[in-house]
Amino acid sequence: MRIKGLPTGEAGRRLLFLTPAYTPVPGGGERYVAALAQQLARRGCQLTVVTSAAEREAEFWQGSGQQRITETAGGNIRVVRLPLRRFPGGRPALFAWRKLMIMVSALPGNQSAVLSRMADLIPPIQQLAATVERLGEVFDLVHAFNISWEHALVVAANYAFKRRLPFVATPFAHLGTGLHDRVALNSTMDHQLRLLRQADSVLALTAAERDGLIRLGLAAERLAVVGSGVEEAPADVPASALVAAVQRQVPDPYAIFVGRASYDKGALHAAQAVLALRTQGVAASLVVVGQSTPEFERLIQSLSAAERRAIYQTGVVSEADKHALLRRAAVLLLPSQVDSFGIVLLEAWSHGVAVIAARAGGITAVVDHNQNGLLVEFGDVEALAGALRRLLTNQTERQAMGQHGRQKVQARYTWHSVADQVLLNYTW
């Protein structure tokens, strides 16, 4: 008999984590898995993490790396990184394959069998199932992550069911602005829902994600909200060359966007809102931190030289530089429809920075409108510009919101508490 939520006895447990990517990939999901693994390792768990060798998202379709194994946390975490095949046709072909999967899922009947085979390319990690089979360890539990790139979840579920091991899923479900919009369809196909329904526990990051999954037919008793955490902000250190360049070229106060600069993450809307304010006489600037995308580069190329000077792109930066740029920012913009939580919200609040975000996905369960930030509808550039104008022109209000955010982080969002909740929902 499996007993859920044993308060003690985790020391010495052997856990198998499967995830499509892992740090140093600069994504919230990757950092989440690494932070949780480190917390569990400190409590004496032995973890094997099987993942791809990717160090940036583009390698999901460009191909990447050689297999390598590393150990961290005093040997309690072993990370097995597997190479990625190049996807023929690159990014457009991969996205077309994904759209085809959504179309297959819409066909009459349950299409889980064919979709699970198609998911071997999402992402195309080489020899994933075979490598897991060859690990030669006896595990107490299998925990897999990220339903949007579900190859690892499919392999993890098959491995756990075959060996009658407890199977736990953290889906990072992107439910968008509604359960049937384009974003939600990417996380709610037949095979994905079947995986989640079969899991012993499904760990949501927010109550909004949990409630959405219940509406999709998952059993409430197998769902739990475990939240997210934030690392302690690095101490103030001398400015790097990159931070110094931003200080020279970008006047205060500026807004900051952190993440993949894509349409779904709201980066294009953030840039458009800043440009709209400048036409109204508001001295607004935007610092964009993170990997660019073809759609964002097309937007930048369409701008005049004067407009481009209002948008400063740093690319991917170190953690220290990211926090230095956040610390000096007036407002964080995260007008995204594809965030199941948005860890960068917590990072901004840890520096007392107010946030403006989209009323979509898990963000609505994190940001308290008019208290620690503002919420606008995804894609509503006029509303986003209005919210940004409100905070840029009212220093007292934005500082009060930032302080309320800081208090919320200190009270609720620690990795220690996340690990506590995860362990309560493990079944040994």
SS3 of 240-255: the string is: CHHHHHHHHHCCCCCE
pTM over 0.85: yes
pLDDT for res 395: 96
What is the 8-class DSSP label of residue 16?
E
CB atoms within 10 A of CB 40: 24
Give 305's Cβ-side CA count (13 Å radius).
0
Split at pLDDT 50, 70, 90, the class of 2 is very low
Domains of the chain: 14-229+414-424 (3.40.50.2000), 241-412 (3.40.50.2000)
Phi, psi of 364 (to 5 degrees): -65, -20
Sheet order of strands, 46-52 included: 68-72, 77-82, 46-52, 14-18, 141-145, 167-170, 201-204, 223-225
> For residue 89, what is the DSSP state?
T
Q: What pLDDT does 255 receive?
A: 98
The two beta strands, 46-52 and 167-170, are unpaired
pLDDT tens-digit map of 117-144: 999 999 999 999 999 999 988 999 999 9
Residues paired with 204 in a beta bridge: 225
Q: What's the mean pLDDT when you consider all of the chain?
A: 92
pLDDT band at 231 (very low <50, low <70, confident <90, very high): confident
In 53-155, at which residue ranges do the beta strands (DSSP E only) sit?
Answer: 68-72, 77-82, 141-145
Give residue 180's pLDDT: 66
Distance CA 348, CA 405 (A): 8
- Condensed to tens digits (0 to 9), the pLDDT of residues 41-88 reads 999 999 999 999 998 888 999 998 777 777 675 689 999 999 999 999
* pLDDT beyond 90 at 334: yes
Each residue's pLDDT tens digit, 8-41: 467 789 999 999 999 888 888 999 999 999 999 9
